[in-house]
């Protein structure tokens, strides 16, 4: 982490030096804000009943068990090459299905946020806060229904989850 922090700060200084060099006489770019520490986009991945794919995101695939509607594009920084990949979905929005948050292998676990089952490219689109908030709300509703019905989360009726999300103000399509 220390090395990453130091390298990140070095890169920021280099970007600022370049900005100042080419900004012109009348402009004096300054750094307004900076994160207090380096962020980690990805840690552990889990295998759920369904794994969201890049194709699902790019083609804006619809799912009967959708619990989140998302529009953020795929945004990946390849750690091996350092290259940046940015791909926009072909439609207006894509969906995250509840099946990416549940596993029959772990009947009392609901995955949410950055833990849901997605391939690396799909993760590059779903990893942003608005999408993670939606999966968190869906996880909470699913867990609550499971507890009130005394059944494993993997056995909760998907339509019941979607109905409850809708009553809470979520846009369920």
pLDDT on residue 94: 97
Q: What angle, 0 to 180 degrees and rounded to 10, lies between the N-to-C axes of helices 129-149 and 158-167?
A: 120
Q: Residue 50 region, left (φ>0) first, then alpha (ψ -120 to 50), else beta?
A: beta
Please check whether residue 49 is in contact with residue 104, taking contact to mean a CB–CB distance below 8 angstroms: yes
Query: What local confidence, expressed as pLDDT, does residue 79 receive?
Result: 74
- Of 29-33, 37-41, 85-89, 105-109, the least confident: 37-41
Confidence of residue 40 (pLDDT cuts 50, 70, 90): low
Tokens of 138: 């869906």
Q: Which residues are CB-neighbours of 27 under 8 A, at least 6 positions away? A: none
**82 band by pLDDT with thresholds 50, 70 and 90:** confident
Across the range 4-10, mean pLDDT stands at: 88
| Helices and strands in the chain: count of H runs, count of E runs | 5, 6
Mean pLDDT of 69-74: 94
């Amino acid at each position: 982490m220390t090395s990453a922090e130091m390298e990140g700060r070095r890169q920021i200084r280099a970007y600022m030096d370049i900005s100042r060099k080419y900004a012109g006489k009348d402009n004096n770019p300054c750094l307004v804000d900076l994160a207090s520490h380096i962020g980690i986009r990805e840690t552990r991945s889990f295998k759920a009943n369904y794994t969201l794919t890049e194709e699902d995101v790019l083609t804006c695939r619809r799912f009967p068990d959708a619990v989140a509607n998302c529009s953020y594009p795929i945004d990946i920084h390849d750690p091996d090459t350092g290259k940046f990949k940015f791909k926009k979905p072909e439609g207006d929005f894509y969906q995250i299905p509840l099946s990416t948050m549940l596993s029959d292998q772990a009947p009392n676990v609901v995955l949410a946020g950055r833990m849901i089952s997605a391939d690396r490219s799909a993760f590059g689109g779903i990893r942003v806060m608005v999408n993670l908030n939606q999966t968190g709300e869906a996880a909470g509703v699913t867990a609550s229904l499971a507890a009130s019905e005394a059944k494993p989360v993997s056995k909760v009726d998907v339509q019941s989850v979607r109905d409850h999300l809708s009553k809470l103000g979520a846009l369920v399509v």
